Amino acid sequence: MNVILLLLVSTLLNISTNSETVTGTVTDENQRPLPGVNVLVEGTQKGTQTDFDGTYTIKAKKGDQLLFGYLGYKTARIKVGDKKILDVSLEPDKASLEEMVIVSYGNLNNSRQRIRGFASAPPPQRESYKEIEENIFKSVNAAPLSTFSIDVDKASYSNVRRMINNGQKVQKDAVKIEELVNYFSYNYAQPTGEHPFAIHTDVATTPWNKDSRLVKIALQGRTIPLDDVPPSNLVFLLDVSGSMNSPNKLPLLKSAFKLLTGQLREQDRVAIVVYAGAAGLVLPSTKGSDKKTIFEALDNLSAGGSTAGGEGIELAYEIAEENFIKGGNNRVILATDGDFNVGASSDRAMGDLIEEKRETGIFLTALGFGMGNYQDSKLETFAQKGNGNHAYIDTMQEAKRVLGTEFGGTIYTIAKDVKIQVEFNPSRVQAYRLIGYENRLLNDEDFNDDKKDAGELGSGHTVTALYEIIPVGVKSRYLKDIDDLKYTKKSNKSNSDELLTVKFRYQKPEGSKSILITETVKDAAQTMSADFEFASAVALFGMQLRESEFTNNANKDLVISLAEAGRGEDRDGYRAEFIRLVKTADVPQDVTN
């Protein structure tokens, strides 16, 4: 008996000593880290997940097979050898419709959770997008002013990317060109003066039309270090209705909000309100340092029931008001597929409700999840009415970007109601066309009206707007004849070398009176910078997806050429991903007008 026990103990010791710590980083096809990848020792219940930076640590012995599973990517199987550092690059899985079942392990406990997902998704069933009527060329003599609100939302790009990656036809009204362009970071200089943003302008020949010019007007918001951001009073408003019961909705939502929670400090506070058939408080306002309690509240969420969104919003703002931090960052963060069907549910009703609530000084961030019934128009309305921003999260990688890498910009506003008004010089410009921003156009008189709502700029945010202009003396098929105006007088300055004057208005986050900035742009076309080339590539791609009449028959080879020339350093690989996306997209090689 003693001999048997000794042999058993010896065997167990050998098994234990044979197990080694294996570490590594999991990346996508563009070598970007993937957070939330499930790592499993095949044939066992030992597993873990990659962290925020895509790294993992797991106990395994030589000869074990490690499985790496991630929604939308092919499962990788790697054999453990002598090396104790195993880096893995996953490949997208766009072809297979077979269901994959992965064993997922939470970071806080050893409970097993089965997550069912699909590498590709069925076509959209009833997704909702606001109709976009493309901007046309306007005569400067008839309409010398162009006025619009800034837009820092990036939801359209990640949503379009999802459609392309899933082999779906991109819905035209899902393509908001300004959100495609503003998805990317640009190498704009930080502000140095009193204002919270710097202004950058450029003029160059339009890449897809040698007879016109492209004008870039860009803002770079001041980046505020997270340690300097005022204390945050956050309310997570989470949709747990039956429509959220799929792997790219509630399970992804939970993981995304764990990433956000990981950024919180002791001085920050967070409460969690959920809504389905009714709304309820599942976590009272809690210190940001008490992450275990917040994680457990998220882990306990499950989906079911109808969607009482209006009631949820009412309760979330009530909780935010009860815990209001004067001089702090007070914000409701809504996460949903936008599918409301109980109580106030129309875009107008929900917009009016949120517009009323924003007077409390509480901002709103709207995060969209899922497909098939994604209600983009509602979430866009919420963000605009709630002095906030809108993002679409389709993967954990996008969650990392929105709620991790760009956390400060997502939750902290440095300027509100930011408006832009451009006046074109009629002696230099015949006509102009604002590319995108159709849903952000303002009446000219709204520019000086401080009560008129406009877009918000977050910490570190960039905003890029592009105008295509037709110089005086150029004949163009895009110009429409109009009669000369009898009473219009030319200014004495119309013969100057100024191409245009651009004015900006903004308010401080807690202010109500706007501040005016004015800049002039000279009529001198320059060689395009890398950022300008890349922004023009994205804009042209958006025009092609929308089957715009203004592409001048440019094909996607020009998009790829411009994007590759403007790729630059591309530390995070987003520009490389864009180039791959363009090559994959079903865009006609010759766009016929």
Contact, 196 vs 414, CB < 8 A? yes
Give the DSSP per-residue string, 348-413: HHHHHHHHHHGGGT-EEEEEEE-SSS-BHHHHHHHHHHTT-EEEEE-SHHHHHIIIIITHHHHH-E
What SS3 state is found at 529?
coil
Give the H/E segment covering residue 275: strand 269-275
Helix axis angle for 530-545 and 556-565, nearest 10°, is: 160
Q: Could you give the domains of the chain?
A: 18-116 (2.60.40.1120), 138-224+414-477+494-584 (2.60.40.1230), 227-410 (3.40.50.410)
Number of H helices and E strands in the chain, helices first, is 13, 25
Contact, 60 vs 48, CB < 8 A? no
Per-residue DSSP letter, 120: S
What SS3 state is found at 250?
helix
List per-residue pLDDT tens for the chain, 593 residues long: 554 454 444 444 444 456 789 999 999 887 878 877 888 898 887 888 787 678 899 999 999 999 998 766 788 999 999 888 999 999 877 543 333 333 333 333 333 333 233 333 444 457 889 999 999 999 999 999 999 999 999 999 999 999 998 888 899 999 999 999 999 999 999 999 999 999 999 999 999 999 999 999 999 999 999 888 899 999 999 999 888 888 888 999 999 999 899 989 999 999 999 998 778 999 999 999 999 999 999 999 998 877 667 788 889 999 999 999 998 999 999 999 877 654 555 567 777 778 888 888 899 999 999 887 788 888 888 888 888 899 999 888 898 889 888 888 888 999 999 999 999 999 999 999 999 999 999 999 999 999 999 999 999 999 999 999 999 999 988 888 777 777 766 665 666 899 999 999 999 998 899 999 999 999 988 899 999 999 999 999 999 999 999 999 999 999 999 999 999 989 888 999 999 999 989 876 554 44
* Cβ count near 227 (within 10 Å): 6
Contact, 563 vs 578, CB < 8 A? yes
Contact, 230 vs 251, CB < 8 A? no
Task: Please give the Cα distance from 331 to 363 (Å, whole number).
Answer: 5
Task: Please give the Cα distance from 176 to 131 (Å, whole number).
Answer: 10
Task: Please give the Cα distance from 232 to 319 (Å, whole number).
Answer: 14
Phi-psi region of 262 (alpha: psi -120 to 50; beta: other; left: phi over 0): alpha
